[in-house]
Amino acid sequence: MQWESGTVVRVIRHERVFEVTVRGEMDYDESDLLGAAWDEADEHALPVTVVDLTLLTFGDSQLLRSLLDAHQRHRATDRAFVLLGPLHESVTRLLTISGTYDHFTITESRDAALRSAGG
């Protein structure tokens, strides 16, 4: 059997900001990628984590669960967690239908994400 995933999760550590970029589609098969990113964010414990979702075209309940988990982990250690958009329609729908859209800080520019998070 052969398979290939188009999902990419990239992490970059800046001076005061941990940045996670997600590209492609995120479902159960790729959920461990985000788990590893959150573990690394916790390890570095920078004041701000910005999650760039501008290139994410689909996310299911695993994505939602992962984002909620990361948000909770950040709040528990007094670190900011900001989603960077614009979000794809399917991701916006997931957050809206689940009633969690307003649970997150969401911004549509990297500069605004850093400002809103105090970075």
Residue 53 lies in a domain: yes
What is the DSSP code string of 21-84? Answer: EEEEEESGGGHHHHHHHHHHHHHHT-SEEEEEEEEEEEE-HHHHHHHHHHHHHHHHTT-EEEEE
Is 60 exceeded by the pLDDT of residue 119?
A: no
Q: Is residue 50 part of a domain?
A: yes
- Output the CA torsion sign for 61, 104, 34, 89: positive
- Answer whether residue 43 is part of any domain: yes
The residue among 117 and 85 whose pLDDT is bigger is 85
Res 112: pLDDT? 81
Q: Kindly state whether residue 1 falls inside one of the protein's structural domains.
A: no
pLDDT tens per residue, range 29-84? 888 999 999 999 999 999 999 999 999 999 999 999 999 999 999 999 999 999 99
Does pLDDT of 93 surpass 60?
yes
Give the per-residue pLDDT at 3. 45
For residue 39, what is the domain's CATH number? 3.30.750.24
Q: What is the pLDDT of residue 96?
A: 98
Range of the domain at 85: 8-116
- Map residue 95 onto helix, strand or coil: helix
- For the chain, how many structural domains are there in total? 1
For residue 55, being part of any structural domain is answered with yes
Calculate the average pLDDT of the chain.
Answer: 91
* Cα separation values, 100 from 8, 72, 106, Å: 24, 13, 11
Position 118 confidence tier, pLDDT thresholds 50, 70, 90: low
pLDDT at 117: 57
Structural domain includes residue 2: no
What gap in Å lies between CA 76 and CA 15, rounded to an integer? 21
pLDDT for residue 62: 95
pLDDT of 109 strictly over 50? yes
The answer to whether residue 100 is domain-embedded is yes
